[in-house]
């Protein structure tokens, strides 16, 4: 492995620019087995499986992405803070920048081709960017609960997040509370809370729940890291260099599998349907699977068991 060891299975690469890129590997030897690159969401990290794995239902021994068969690589998006490194110049980046970092890292590791790139939310956007930039590099592209561009709705939400974070150095909890309103749905709130009250705190249970999630993120994430990831979330756009979506999707040699969530408020199903129709008009078939859930965007994490049957045909 052309990388130095940090701790707890985390490895560190130094790119040609001097930028540091950390990652973890799971399963088989990536020099000999088919490789799956997993791109993490906004507050995620490279721990995709194992004790703290955020996608344990999907990745592991005997799971749809079986570590007995596949080599799993997961990079930390630079600046997410998991490896101890924060970024000051993140506003000069976009998700295409991250895709280039990941590609350079893979090349340094001697990876010539990927069986699959899969990512959730922000990670889905980075996955699209990689397929657009390196159209011959990936056999299967699987964006889950994500898109190839940041819509006006997404840009608006990340703009509001930015304003909240600028209010004070301890505003991360408020930003998280706001974000949770997009990660879930009004219906899921009614099912979970139904206007019940926490008598001890004198709050509606929905209020104490939001406060809990704000505090929880503050305890494990840094403001600068959140600012970086939030900026990237609003920067997704595979067409930024002037090529149309149609031109790009025709050039991608990957089999494209879009997994949407029917109740997603963050990356709406309607946008994915439009993507599939636009691709179809230029002769590109996209395998579009729709996950039915009351939980909205977070369903790809909360109900990842619903993703399992969608993966099985690809990985078997």
CATH number at residue 246: 3.40.50.1820
Residue 281: the pLDDT is: 98
Structural domain ending residue among the three candidates 233, 262, 279: 233
**102 and 132 together in one domain:** yes
**248 and 183 together in one domain:** no
Structural domain ending residue among the three candidates 216, 233, 250: 233
Rounded Cα–Cα distance for residues 209 and 84 (Å) = 29
Q: How confident is the model at residue 168 (pLDDT cuts 50, 70, 90)?
A: confident
Beta strands in the chain (DSSP E): 4-5, 11-14, 20-27, 35-39, 59-60, 65-66, 71-75, 114-120, 138-144, 197-198, 203-204, 255-261, 287-291
**253 and 105 together in one domain:** yes
If you count them, how many residues does the chain have? 316
**229 and 242 together in one domain:** no
**146 and 158 together in one domain:** no
pLDDT over 70 (residue 98) = yes
Rounded Cα–Cα distance for residues 42 and 180 (Å) = 12
Structural domain ending residue among the three candidates 233, 253, 282: 233
Residue 199 tokens, joined: 């008598």
Q: Provide the whole-model pTM.
A: 0.96
**254 and 106 together in one domain:** yes
**141 and 175 together in one domain:** no
pLDDT tens track for 252-275 = 999 999 999 999 999 999 999 999
Residue 24: the pLDDT is: 98
pLDDT tens track for 111-127 = 999 999 999 999 999 99
Rounded Cα–Cα distance for residues 214 and 181 (Å) = 12
| Average pLDDT, integer, range 55-66 | 97
Per the structure, the complete domain to which residue 215 belongs is given by 152-233
CATH number for 170: 1.10.1740.110
Q: How confident is the model at residue 169 (pLDDT cuts 50, 70, 90)?
A: confident
**67 and 131 together in one domain:** yes
**159 and 171 together in one domain:** yes
**229 and 246 together in one domain:** no
Chain center to CA of 9:
21
> Kindly report the CA angle at 315 between 310 and 316, in degrees rounded to 5?
100
Q: How confident is the model at residue 74 (pLDDT cuts 50, 70, 90)?
A: very high
**146 and 181 together in one domain:** no
| Average pLDDT, integer, range 282-291 | 98
Q: How confident is the model at residue 94 (pLDDT cuts 50, 70, 90)?
A: very high
What total number of domains does the chain contain?
Answer: 2
DSSP letter at 92 equals G
**163 and 227 together in one domain:** yes
| Average pLDDT, integer, range 11-26 | 96
Residue 112 tokens, joined: 């010539």
pLDDT over 80 (residue 243) = yes
């Amino acid at each position: 492995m052309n990388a130095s060891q940090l701790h707890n299975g985390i490895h560190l690469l130094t790119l040609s620019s001097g930028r540091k890129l950390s990652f973890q590997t799971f399963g088989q030897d990536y020099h000999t087995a088919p490789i799956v690159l997993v791109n993490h969401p906004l507050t995620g990290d490279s721990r995709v499986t194992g004790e703290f794995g955020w996608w344990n239902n999907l990745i592991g021994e005997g799971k749809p992405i079986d570590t007995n068969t596949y080599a799993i690589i997961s990079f930390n998006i630079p600046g997410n803070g998991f490896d101890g490194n924060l970024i000051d110049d993140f506003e000069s980046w976009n998700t295409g920048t991250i895709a280039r970092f990941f590609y350079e890292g893979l090349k340094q590791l001697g990876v010539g081709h990927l069986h699959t790139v899969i990512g959730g939310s922000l990670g889905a956007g980075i996955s699209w960017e990689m397929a657009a930039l390196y159209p011959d590099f990936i056999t299967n592209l699987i964006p889950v609960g994500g898109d190839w561009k940041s819509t006006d709705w997404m840009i608006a939400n990340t703009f509001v997040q930015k304003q909240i974070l600028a209010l004070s150095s301890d505003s991360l909890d408020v930003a998280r509370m706001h974000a949770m309103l997009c990660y879930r749905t009004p219906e899921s709130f009614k099912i979970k809370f139904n206007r019940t009250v926490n008598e001890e705190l004198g709050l509606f249970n929905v209020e104490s729940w939001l406060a809990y999630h704000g505090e929880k993120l503050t305890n494990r994430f840094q403001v600068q890291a959140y600012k970086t990831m939030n900026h990237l979330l609003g920067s997704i756009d595979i067409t930024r260099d002037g090529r149309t979506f149609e031109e790009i999707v025709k050039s991608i040699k990957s089999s494209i599998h879009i997994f949407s969530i029917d109740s997603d408020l963050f990356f709406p199903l309607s946008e994915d349907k439009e993507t599939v129709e636009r691709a179809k008009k230029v002769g590109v078939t996209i395998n579009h699977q729709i996950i039915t859930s009351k939980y909205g965007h977070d369903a790809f994490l909360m109900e990842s068991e619903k993703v399992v049957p969608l993966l099985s045909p690809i990985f078997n």
